[in-house]
């Protein structure tokens, strides 16, 4: 089932969907079902227009997704057997960095997904605030604000994810420790119907 496509120099192959495994590196954890269904309908009509990027999984005949997980999931929904994929030999670190970088360039990344992605890149030791700002075309203040969001308690992080509090409110809450954040949440932010 693996045949080179029209452009073998880019190493695009048609891969069996059953040989592809989800990424553990994708900073995006939530995939909106409505947009996946829309993409699946498009794939039924036109196929996958942009190949996904995968890397071989050591010791198997499988491939791990580096990026393109939405296209992969939508192809499964669309009932496809194969998907065009660029196969790259990447280390764990390279795969993780590529997945994070690609996802941060999307328009619909949430502030919490951004915060976690920037934090992971900082933890890699290859980035600091200045180099992240340069890499992603943001100012350093923007990066610092996003990085603060990793300190939010899960309940408040979820409110930010759902746009139930603003970035400026979340930034203010980040200044306080866990105990005060919990107090703010339970006294002022928790839905009174619960």
Query: What are the residues whose beta carbons fall under 8 Å from the beta carbon of 113, sequence distance 6 or more?
Result: 27, 28, 29, 103
In the residue annotation, 69 being an active-site residue is answered as: yes
- Provide the token pair at 145: 């604000």
d(CA 113, CA 37): 22
Residues in CB range of 116: below 8 A, 6 or more apart: 27, 150
CA gap 72, 50 in Å, rounded:
11
Residue pair 72/65 in contact by the 8 Å Cβ criterion: yes
Catalytic residue among 69, 96, 97, 113, which?
69
Which residues, at least 6 apart from 140, have a Cβ–Cβ distance to it below 8 Å?
Answer: 129, 130, 133
Helix (H) or strand (E) segment spanning residue 158: helix 154-161
Active-site residue list: 69
């Amino acid at each position: 089932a693996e045949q080179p496509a029209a452009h073998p120099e880019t190493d695009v192959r048609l891969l069996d969907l059953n040989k592809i495994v989800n990424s553990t590196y994708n900073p995006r954890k939530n995939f909106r079902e409505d947009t996946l269904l829309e993409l699946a309908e498009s794939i039924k009509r036109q196929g996958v227009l942009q190949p996904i990027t995968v890397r071989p999984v050591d010791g198997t005949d499988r491939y791990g997704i580096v990026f393109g997980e939405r296209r992969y999931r939508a192809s499964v929904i669309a009932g496809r057997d194969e998907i065009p994929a660029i196969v790259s030999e990447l280390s764990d670190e390279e795969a993780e960095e590529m997945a994070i970088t690609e996802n941060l360039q999307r328009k619909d990344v949430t502030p919490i997904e951004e915060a976690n992605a920037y934090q992971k890149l900082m933890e890699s030791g290859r980035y600091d605030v200045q180099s992240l700002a340069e890499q992603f075309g943001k100012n350093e203040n923007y990066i610092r604000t996003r990085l603060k969001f990793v300190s939010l308690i899960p309940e408040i992080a979820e409110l930010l994810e759902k746009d139930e509090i603003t970035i400026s409110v979340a930034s203010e809450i980040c200044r306080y420790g866990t105990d005060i954040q919990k107090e703010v949440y339970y006294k002022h932010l928790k839905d009174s119907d619960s």
